[in-house]
Amino acid sequence: MITLLVGENSFEIQRALDDIISDFDGNVEKIEGSELQVSQLPDIFMGVSLFAEKRLVVIRNLSENKSVWPVLGDWTDKISDDIHIVLVEPKPDKRTSTYKLLLKIADVHEFVQWSDRDVGVAEKWVASEAEKRGLNLNKKLIQTLVNWVGIDQWQLFYALEKLSLTDDITEESIKNIVEPNPVENVFNLFETALRGDTKNLMEILKILEQTEDVYRLTALLSSQAFQLLVVASASSAVRRNDNVAKDFAIHPYVVSKLSPIAKRIGKSGASKIISIFTELDDDMKLSRAEPWMLVERALIKVANI
């Protein structure tokens, strides 16, 4: 038997794999597919164990192996009935003949990574997981948790694990116990600059300088500046916030937080901020100064708009 777990949602793939392993009574053989040799295929597909009647073989990233993946089809019809092979493939080339063959003969499960459009899916998942743990989370608390953590399932899972250790779950306890996602931290920085609060801006920058990569932070800031321009432009066209979120794949929570700012500074102010971050990008590429100093200078310019 061959099972194919495919997709970039590593959380759901791991959960599916754990379920398969828990149903198997014996030692699981784990193989890194990218390092596999063609000469090992006979033992994997046809070999028997002296110590167990059945075998479970988990092979990860076999599609990355340019010598084995193309010939895998030559062995699929030779697999022993006592062997269960699980192929874990985050991002295989679906155009290959091997992948097309597996779609026909394997038990295929595809797990797609969530995007910003899947906020509702994330909230339903959190509600289900909370119920399994006996956690009392109402709709508002679930929304708070998803907004605070983001839609990464691993982070949501760990957040629920932490919350299961507390008796009283409130919006305040969520923010005290659970770390916000980096986007939330960066948004606080961006929002502080937009308020013109240079004192708190410098304090937040000092903290982030110890915990964040400056280039990643800059990319997130630039992304939020672009989102602000989108929301400001949409506001001038009298578009509904939910349409903006859907049309431009911006998290509804982000739209709700940016909308008051967009109304205040307008499309003109948002365009000025884009210019500031365009200049920041050029300065960093040309190494005109120390990166954190360039970020600080850019945010002070934003604060002075």
Query: What is the pLDDT at residue 75?
Result: 92
- Which of 128, 150, 177 is a domain's end point? 177
Query: What is the pLDDT at residue 148?
Result: 87
Number of domains in the chain: 3
Greatest Cα pair distance, the chain, in angstroms, is 75
219-230 confidence digits (pLDDT tens): 989 999 999 999
Nearest of 54, 50, 52 to residue 85 by alpha carbon: 54
Least confident of 74-83, 130-139, 250-259: 250-259
Nearest of 270, 196, 275, 267 to residue 238 by alpha carbon: 267
Let me know the angle formed at the C-alpha of 247 by 246 and 253, rounded to the nearest 5 degrees.
Answer: 40
Indicate whether 139 and 214 sit together in one domain.
Answer: no
- Which of 144, 177, 210 is a domain's end point? 177
Distance CA 64, CA 91 (A): 9
Indicate whether 198 and 251 sit together in one domain.
Answer: yes
Indicate whether 197 and 298 sit together in one domain.
Answer: yes
Indicate whether 298 and 221 sit together in one domain.
Answer: yes
**In terms of residue numbers, what domain contains 296?**
182-303
30-85 confidence digits (pLDDT tens): 999 999 999 999 989 887 665 667 899 999 999 999 999 999 999 998 898 889 99
**Residue 239 reports pLDDT greater than 60:** no
Indicate whether 188 and 121 sit together in one domain.
Answer: no
Residue 29: strand, helix, or coil: strand
Least confident of 49-53, 188-192, 289-293: 49-53
Cβ-proximal residues to 173 (8 Å cutoff; 6+ apart), any chain? 163, 166
User: For residues 178 and 160, is the Cβ–Cβ distance under 8 A?
Assistant: no
User: With bands split at pLDDT 50, 70 and 90, how would you rate the model's confidence at 117?
Assistant: confident
153-188 confidence digits (pLDDT tens): 999 999 999 999 988 899 999 989 998 887 778 888
pTM for this structure? 0.69
Number of H helices, E strands in the chain: 13, 5
Whose tokens are 């400056």? That residue is: 214
**Residue 237 reports pLDDT greater than 60:** no
Indicate whether 136 and 236 sit together in one domain.
Answer: no
Indicate whether 236 and 278 sit together in one domain.
Answer: yes
**Structure tokens that stand for 45 in this block:** 């597909």
Indicate whether 142 and 188 sit together in one domain.
Answer: no
- Which of 93, 110, 127 is a domain's end point? 110
Distance CA 157, CA 144 (A): 15
- Residue 86, Cβ neighbours under 10 Å: how many? 23
Query: What is the pLDDT at residue 109?
Result: 98
Indicate whether 146 and 190 sit together in one domain.
Answer: no
Indicate whether 64 and 103 sit together in one domain.
Answer: yes
CATH assignment at residue 227:
1.20.272.10
196-235 confidence digits (pLDDT tens): 999 999 999 988 888 789 998 999 899 999 999 999 888 6
Indicate whether 200 and 251 sit together in one domain.
Answer: yes
Distance CA 91, CA 97 (A): 15
Query: What is the pLDDT at residue 49?
Result: 62
Between 273 and 25, the more confident residue is: 273
Indicate whether 152 and 198 sit together in one domain.
Answer: no
